Amino acid sequence: MEIQAPKGTKDMLPEEAYKWHYVENIFREVSKNFGIREIRTPIFEHTELFLRGVGETTDIVQKEMYTFKDKGDRSITLKPEGTAPAVRAFIENRLFNEAQPTKLYYITPCFRYEKAQKGRYRQFHQYGVEMFGSSSPSIDAEVMALAMNILKKIGLKGLSLNINNLGCPSCRPKYNEALKNFLKENYDGLCETCKTRFEKNPMRILDCKEKKCKEITKNAPTILEFTCEECNEHFDKTKEYLDILGIPYTVDPGIVRGLDYYTKTIFEILNSEFTVCGGGRYDRLIEEIGGPSMPAVGFGMGIERLIMTLDKEGIEVPKEPLVELYLSGRGESGVKEAFKLAHKLREIGVNAEINHAGRSFKAEMKYANKIGAKFNVVLGDDELESRKAKFKRMEDREEFELSLDDLESIKDIIKK
């Protein structure tokens, strides 16, 4: 029986890797422009981290986590999202003692057991940004600007930014009570998961994907009717900063996001079909996980979904040249020289390839075309004797006679 990849996982094949490199390079480049440093956390954590951080009433914790006992009988979970591990690392490594704000980004695999479908996998990859230590509305706007900047640079069109004010522990209880009063009449019609949320966290019901729950909550009161003066002032200033940057947005009271740790500003960025990015402020999470009282804001975006969106919208991603120079050796001496020269050129940054398969000269030329070699050079007795060879550009067949000993000149021509 043929062994296949587990359901909900996907191989990244070499033909697709250039798309991943393209978006990851943009993540790193723009993060650097915003003064954000990279962090890498383990792919598994103690389960308690996600129970305390993500929230026991979320879909992630209730339905989707990959949790198991290790050989020491400890409960371990493959990370379903990147924020809680980043916060744990921030606390454990005492980064709160450094000058604030601390700005971090990560590119990481995540794991959720959910219905496998196109663009949604059980192992997926996430780019996320977390900014700790600032309560200023300006950093809320900066996080959204960063996300929009990245998505535009990647090439996505027709993006829309939707924002909401989720309130704080002072004003949210009043809203929860009003929401429960609204939902009481239709309690029996809620799905079993939402019934368990009714007492503990009724706002989670607004995020339920079940059709019957969506129907029940469509006319529910909104959080904006109950937010306190402090939360409203923060939200108004965040909008002012977005206006300063000329970033259009829509206030959408229906956004609640799927994680319990959010407070005040939350946002989603959509293209025509998908939510491609989501995030917001989480001022209590650091303290809840065991650190000092410190504000924070961030976002995450799924890389598989981004790449699928690029493909769907027909956005061309520039391909990386697999081989810049194919060296063909004639005779034993030519083969050895090609082998030697290829390695010297690789050391100075040229993508070079030679004949490892014993192909005939004709087959070599076909192979060089097939792999998209940018240049080709043939090394035989004459070239070895004169120490000069003609480097042919495959695209237009133009030839450049160069010294085999002048590696920098060869590199300059090939890299043009």
CA atoms within 13 A on the CB side of 335: 10
* pLDDT for residue 259: 63
Q: Is the pLDDT of residue 60 over 80?
A: no
Q: Can you tell me the distance from the alpha carbon of 129 to that of 119, in angstroms, rounded to the nearest whole number? A: 21
Residue 340: partners with Cβ closer than 8 Å, 6 or more residues away:
none
d(Cα 321, Cα 162) in Å, to the nearest integer?
A: 39
Q: How far apart are CA 416 and CA 411, in angstroms?
A: 9
Q: Which stretch of 102-116, 132-146, 260-274 has the lowest confidence by average pLDDT? A: 260-274
Q: Angle CA(375)–CA(377)–CA(380) in degrees, nearest 5?
A: 175
What is the value of pTM for the model shown?
Answer: 0.88
- Judged by DSSP in three states, 369 sits in helix
Q: Is the peptide bond before 14 cis (omega within 30 degrees of 0)?
A: no
Pick the more confident residue, 373 or 208.
373
CA dihedral (366, 372, 374, 376) in degrees, to 10, reads -20
The answer to whether 298 and 262 are in contact (CB under 8 A) is: no
- State pLDDT tens for residues 4-51: 999 999 999 988 999 999 999 999 999 999 999 999 999 999 999 998
- pLDDT tens-digit readout, 337-346: 999 999 999 9
Domain covering 325-415 in this structure, CATH number: 3.40.50.800
**CATH code 3.30.930.10 region(s) in the chain:** 14-171+227-312
Q: Is the pLDDT of residue 245 over 80?
A: yes
Phi and psi torsions of 378, nearest 5°: -110, 130
Q: What percent of the chain has pLDDT over 70?
A: 97
Provide the CATH topology of domain 14-171+227-312: BirA Bifunctional Protein; domain 2 (3.30.930)
How confident is the model at residue 59, as a pLDDT? Answer: 65
d(CA 17, CA 193): 39
In this structure, of 196-200, 223-227, 243-247, the range with the lowest mean pLDDT score is 196-200
Rounded CA-CA distance 54/207 in Å is: 14
When pLDDT is cut at 50, 70 and 90, the band that residue 258 belongs to is low
CATH 3.40.50.800 residue spans of the chain: 325-415
**Hey, which residues does 323 pair with through a beta bridge?**
none
If we measure between CA atoms, which residue out of 159, 60, 38, 125 comes closest to residue 305? 125
pLDDT of residue 255: 85
**pLDDT tier at 219, thresholds 50, 70, 90:** confident
